Structure 1
């Protein structure tokens, strides 16, 4: 599951209801918008809108403005946002999950160890989550909130929305069980808090068949819970979000060896874009299982650690899929989508800095997925419209491993010689085309703190950057090709894995 398993949690006592999320949900219902329709009207990614609605993401002021316009709320959402900001205890932390009862603040509960094991077998994922909790507050803790959220197609929110509307996640499928104490000493009762098509929120109660066992100040305990989700609902990623002070975070992925799983990880925070894990993911091949493990000490609050994987050994029952089919399966919008022909919406920076960082996180995640499926000797890039996000952001990874992030870019000058070289595009990857471009370009773009900057790029990097800037202005490389020149099938292209030639 996700964030394709996304699990966020908190414990009581001490936080207020997320008034903005409640008001946003009310106005969405008033206007009759689905989550996908609201995201489209606002120009935001559907998964982010869903997180704000559920209270697991803190909205930005820009988000509130766009919601106000899209829902025609007469100022109600602006007022709710001001109220949310006024009563929010810390300006740097995201909103807690929407709750009818208070949950523990970060000053009272510490997670000494957070350990997750995800096992896949015969089309079913089973998650076992263990935590050692320490109560550093002044009152007893009697329950703990967990969230089970799935996203089968994270790169295609419309498809995911249809899936869960027609085939919702059910309690019978989940089969949730929970225990208190090392070695599953005492079964814990639980109570549903929110029951939605694609996510559940549950209170784990510090009580069960053996009575009540609150976690008192100064005490610690282990809690453990377990549930299952079929692969029809769960996609190939698992995310841990650090919501409470945590000393050790560990994750284990347990897959059948014959699936030949490839696993990679991305780390994001409130202030930084997605980056590969600082330490490598370990792998242990034991018998008929491949077990991947990773851990870190003292993860920063609000950080997110996402592991993704690809089952390369899964039988397809036929010939290999076309490159375009592979890219579509990885969440890349294909050339028949009119979104690729629209000019992307600019960021208002620094006001929309948080939104910009989230888009870059999604772009880096898409790059990681794509890089696992294809070798890019010349470097690679991707623009936000290619993953269904109508915002002016793109990233480029050069052949030397440099990462370039661009917001609101425009080419303002070209210099040097022009030459023609073959380019490929993730949005129509079955062909390659010879495209004339300048050796040197000057690009005006906006930094995350709102400064206007001009950067010069040359040769192969200039070609990569120009390709992505074109995407943000509704232009594809075929529009740049000389008249009478047509792309060639990828089977005839002989440059895969090689570098640019100058």
Structure 2
């Protein structure tokens, strides 16, 4: 028997309702109670014994927080049932968004801009607000969160415990209105944590209150500052209110050679942003902009980036093209990680450090392999001008932005020839181990205690594709193991004991001395 378009639309509405009810872990009776309906009503709708009403659909959407899915299915059903024009033309003025009765604030436009200058990020948010509710609005909740190493939550939490976000550095400011009519907004603390803050921006100041009444519009504009040592390479906007338009801008120095990409996360999936990022240069600044005219409620839009070039911190410290640095910025000592970043070493938190490197197809890719090794040797040469590596030093290709299986290791003994590793893998290791403190060029502000075998046997390739097995012991076994970990997307912190703590380099007492055996 053929079903009509109206019946199919009704079935799709019922399916969406049931799916989201189960997703939220509610029984029909619980959902009915939350919606304010008779306990049997949801059963009757799901059983197709009652036709859904607009009020029912709005309340179900609001209770189940379905991101507009239930309301959209009702609109499709209702449009076919009444054979009239799209409801979107008559409903509240936010496209493809559900709006329960008495909806409060609507964001008609948000422009979020993040600017990097001289080692700090300045974030500025501008929102055009419309009060579509029935009550005056007297405050607006702002959430500020940082995550230095978003792909390493344990390390990031530890980092922020030691370096908490504070209001003194943030210099939070906010105004409501525009031009001469703009009013400073006072704010009140709601939540204070190491890596996140929540504050109420008040429609009030020392001169009194200026609520946003129903039917009125205003613009709020707030800004704050966070140092690069606390801000990871990402910027996320969460859509918590019905929103017409969202625009995000990133503003970086051109010499950073920034690469930017975007992700959209919803209850259903994480996908690349659906509209392209645009870039233009303006007075030695690289400006990236991304916009969407239909941001989904409860979705998160996240821009991430990496820097391939030299950072301003290194430039201000007097770094030349060979990476030599005097180690100070404006009279302050330059952080070790900043010096590493200044010569092009990828820092912890970058996706590239968590990916398995691609093996070379040798000898067909000999030229590419030699080019990667040459780049590694060049960077190692620059490193020697920045730090005395008494324990030896190694560098893997992902640390200089190359996703290939190559590493170069310089032994602790002065004058020793560096070891070149192509497509390496550990094929055997001793049962005897020891614990030593390790550092990492991609995480050079800290040291961590790591257990490793005292001997490893490594199979690796020559440029002509022939393979060999080399045995390394003690310090070289540790150095080689560390670099092979990099090629497999692993960092030394992954090998630390769960209760072990990282030691800030300022407190590390074994600097300048080789490992002891």
Q: TM-score, normalised by structure 2?
A: 0.46
Bigger RCO of structures 1 and 2 (CA < 8 A, at least 6 apart)? 1
